[in-house]
């Protein structure tokens, strides 16, 4: 996998588990409020950044057996990594729980991972009411794929959460109310003010 970074310890990102977090490099969406724009392009790390290879992450996890419960795989968007499944197989073989953070645009990848019992928790971002998806994401989005991913999670029997980022510059209170009505358990995360240089610029 193309890895953009590793957070070695977290007690808040994997419900009920102490985890490490691996950040994959590359995303297929261009959300204007993105707080990790450095992870969007599928490119190597820039000078001065940690040069994490898959082997480095696996070596770290091997050393931390017994101290960590699980690994969160986030991004970027992990589902666009062609060797995501192979990586998770290696992590699971060490006895770790795996949580996947995804935007839901690759239901075939999600289904394969679920069918092979390679995930223990999934967090999926629902970006907006469906009619606003393209405007929020900055690119056309196949909404049937988003719906398919939601359906997979709702029928998986696996712990999962649906969440949305509430950026008042792009979503209204009515949008959030509509999403909450459609997904009552939706977790709404307020978008904290950030400096313009820290967010993704989307061309008009």
Name the burial class of residue 6, with classes exposed (0-12), middle (13-18) and buried (19+) by CB atoms within 10 angstroms of its CB.
middle
Q: Rounded to whole angstroms, how far apart are CA atoms 139 and 203?
A: 11
159, part of any domain: yes
178, part of any domain: yes
Query: Which domain does 168 fall in, by range?
Result: 3-198
Q: Please state the domain count of the chain.
A: 1
**Would you tell me how many other CB atoms lie within 10 Å of the CB of residue 188?**
12
203, part of any domain: no
What does the pLDDT look like over 98-157, one tens digit per residue? 999 999 999 999 999 999 999 999 999 999 999 999 999 999 999 999 999 999 999 999
39, part of any domain: yes
204, part of any domain: no
Beta bridge partners of 98: 71
Q: Rounded to whole angstroms, how far apart are CA atoms 113 and 120?
A: 10
Beta bridge partners of 74: 23
100, part of any domain: yes
111, part of any domain: yes
Cβ atoms of 78 and 99 within 8 Å: the answer is no
CATH of the domain at 147: 3.20.20.70
In the Cβ-directed half-sphere of 22, how many Cα atoms lie within 13 Å? 27
Q: Does the pTM of the predicted model rise above 0.85? A: yes
Provide the pLDDT for residue 195. Answer: 42
pLDDT average, residue stretch 53-63: 95
pLDDT at 201 over 70: no
């Amino acid at each position: 996998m193309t890895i953009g970074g590793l957070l070695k310890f977290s007690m808040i990102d994997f419900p009920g588990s102490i985890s490490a977090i691996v950040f994959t490099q590359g995303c297929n969406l261009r959300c204007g409020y993105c707080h990790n724009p450095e992870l969007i392009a599928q490119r190597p790390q820039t000078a001065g950044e940690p040069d994490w290879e898959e082997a480095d992450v696996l070596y770290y996890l091997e050393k931390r057996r017994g101290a960590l419960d699980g690994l969160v795989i986030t991004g970027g968007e992990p589902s666009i990594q062609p060797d995501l499944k192979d990586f998770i197989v290696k992590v699971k073989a060490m006895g770790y729980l795996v949580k996947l953070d995804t935007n839901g645009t690759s239901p075939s990848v999600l289904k394969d991972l679920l069918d092979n019992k390679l995930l223990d928790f999934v967090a999926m971002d629902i970006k907006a009411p469906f009619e606003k998806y393209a405007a929020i994401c900055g690119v056309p989005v196949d909404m049937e794929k988003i719906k398919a991913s939601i359906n997979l999670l709702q029928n998986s029997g696996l712990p999962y959460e649906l969440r949305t980022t509430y950026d008042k510059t792009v979503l209204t209170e009515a949008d959030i109310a509509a999403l909450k009505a459609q997904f009552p358990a939706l977790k709404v995360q307020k978008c904290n003010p950030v400096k313009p240089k820290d967010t993704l610029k989307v061309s008009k």
